[in-house]
Copies of this chain bind each other. A is one copy, B any other.
Amino acid sequence: MIKFQCDYMEGAHPEIMRRLNEINLDKNDGYGLDHYSAHAMQLIREACQCPKAEVRFLVGGTQTNAVVIDSMLRFNEGIIAPQTGHINVHEAGAIEACGHKVIPAKAVLGKIDLDALETYLETFTEELNAVGWEHYVVPRAIYVSMSTELGTLYSLTELTRLRDLCDRFNLYLYIDGARLGYALAAPACDVTLPDVARLADVFYIGGTKVGALFGEAVVVTNPAIQVTRGHIKGRGAMLAKGWLLGIQFETLFTDGLYFKIARNAVEQALKLRDVLIEKGYEIYLDSPTNQQFVVMPTERLATLAEQVGYDVIATLDAHNTVIRFCTSWATTDAQLAHLISCL
């Protein structure tokens, strides 16, 4: 039985393991003050074409979202997120635990509905101007993920429009890049890493799902946002052996490894999509990245589960269930062939 439930089911890319083994018994300064971290920060700034960006390495996605969002918001300020956004549904209230409201916005296929968002911002701003903003949670930031929880992508036009809305309504734009590698590696993606860095105020480059053992690299391009080391420490998000993060991101951002390995996941996923269509399955939604959603007769699930791992997404109707297959940087041709043979 081969697992395709998610994209964080393997350890790290072999090159990362090689480096970790290599320096294992060296002595390094703690808390991210080592030279690997410094170098990795520099490599990321270069890849982002943002020489002045502040880079921070954290361990996982939920803690990253909590620390970054808590850094952006003051009292009675909230962050708008698509209804299906990770912070709204899948992080056990981590943002609220820091005292902030997640303001849900209409989402279509995992993406925030930009027309609905614009109308909401116009209407709500007018209302606040009329009756006084002090009774409300004031939107101060927008959260989107790229790729989204449903594998979909924002186009450059859409991200630019989001940026314009942020400028117009005085909002920060925060992009959760847990799967940023898989987004950027998609043939359908017309956005580049420098685009993301230019359009967002702060974002993170996901390592956990894209080649690292663990680790997310926060990139702060707007100096008005301070993600301080004290904040990271006080939220329990500062790794003692910080060089473990540094050396992983140094490896990922040397010779474009991050982008290279992300491509594999997307290629395998698109091959899978083609096969699914070919075999007559109904594709639940058209995902151009490493997550593929397919409608499966519910009665087939028990047998399938003995052969491959998948994630149940939703009950579609009396006879059908939506399931998800994820590929990753580590998915091999043989693994995919096995999966296809079970369909």
Give chain B residues whose Cβ lies under 8 Å from the Cβ of A239.
59-60, 214
Q: Do B24 and A11 touch across chains, with their CB atoms under 8 A apart?
A: yes
Bound complex: CA A11 to CA B10 (Å): 20
Give chain B residues whose Cβ lies under 8 Å from the Cβ of A20.
11, 17
Q: Do B92 and A230 touch across chains, with their CB atoms under 8 A apart?
A: yes
Q: Do B76 and A230 touch across chains, with their CB atoms under 8 A apart?
A: yes
Q: Do A137 and B92 touch across chains, with their CB atoms under 8 A apart?
A: yes
12 A-B residue pairs with CB within 8 Å: A5-B29, A10-B24, A31-B132, A60-B238, A60-B240, A75-B228, A76-B228, A89-B136, A93-B137, A97-B234, A99-B99, A214-B240
Q: Does A231 contact B (CB under 8 A)?
A: yes
Query: Which of these, B21, B75, B102, contacts A230 with CB under 8 Å?
Result: B75
Binds B, one of A61-69, A192-200, A253-261, A290-298: A61-69
Q: Do A102 and B101 touch across chains, with their CB atoms under 8 A apart?
A: yes
Q: Does A3 contact B (CB under 8 A)?
A: yes
Bound complex: CA A269 to CA B27 (Å): 17
Q: Does A52 contact B (CB under 8 A)?
A: no
Query: Which of these, B27, B94, B235, contacts A97 with CB under 8 Å?
Result: B235
Copies of the protein in its oligomer: 4
Known: A75-B97, A236-B66. A10 touches B26 (CB 8 A): yes
Give chain B residues whose Cβ lies under 8 Å from the Cβ of A237.
63, 236
Q: Does A223 contact B (CB under 8 A)?
A: no
* Seed contacts A3-B28, A11-B244, A91-B135; 18 additional CB < 8 Å A-B pairs: A6-B30, A59-B59, A62-B238, A75-B97, A75-B235, A76-B230, A76-B233, A89-B136, A91-B236, A92-B135, A92-B230, A93-B99, A97-B235, A98-B99, A133-B230, A135-B233, A136-B230, A214-B241
Give chain B residues whose Cβ lies under 8 Å from the Cβ of A8.
30, 240-241
Bound complex: CA A92 to CA B71 (Å): 15
Give chain B residues whose Cβ lies under 8 Å from the Cβ of A209.
240
Q: Do A240 and B25 touch across chains, with their CB atoms under 8 A apart?
A: no
Bound complex: CA A70 to CA B97 (Å): 12
Give chain B residues whose Cβ lies under 8 Å from the Cβ of A9.
27-30
8 Å CB interface, A118-173 against B: 130-138
Q: Does A188 contact B (CB under 8 A)?
A: no
Q: Do A234 and B29 touch across chains, with their CB atoms under 8 A apart?
A: no
Q: Does A316 contact B (CB under 8 A)?
A: no
Query: Which of these, B21, B24, B134, B137, contacts A238 with CB under 8 Å?
Result: B134
Q: Do A25 and B6 touch across chains, with their CB atoms under 8 A apart?
A: no
Q: Do B96 and A240 touch across chains, with their CB atoms under 8 A apart?
A: no
Q: Does A275 contact B (CB under 8 A)?
A: no
Look across to chain B and name the residue whose beta carbon is closest to the beta carbon of A309: B27
Interface membership of chain A positions 1-23, coded 1 if the CB is closer than 8 angstroms to chain B and 0 otherwise: 01101101111101001001101
Q: Do A62 and B100 touch across chains, with their CB atoms under 8 A apart?
A: no
Give chain B residues whose Cβ lies under 8 Å from the Cβ of A92.
76, 134-137, 230-231, 233-234
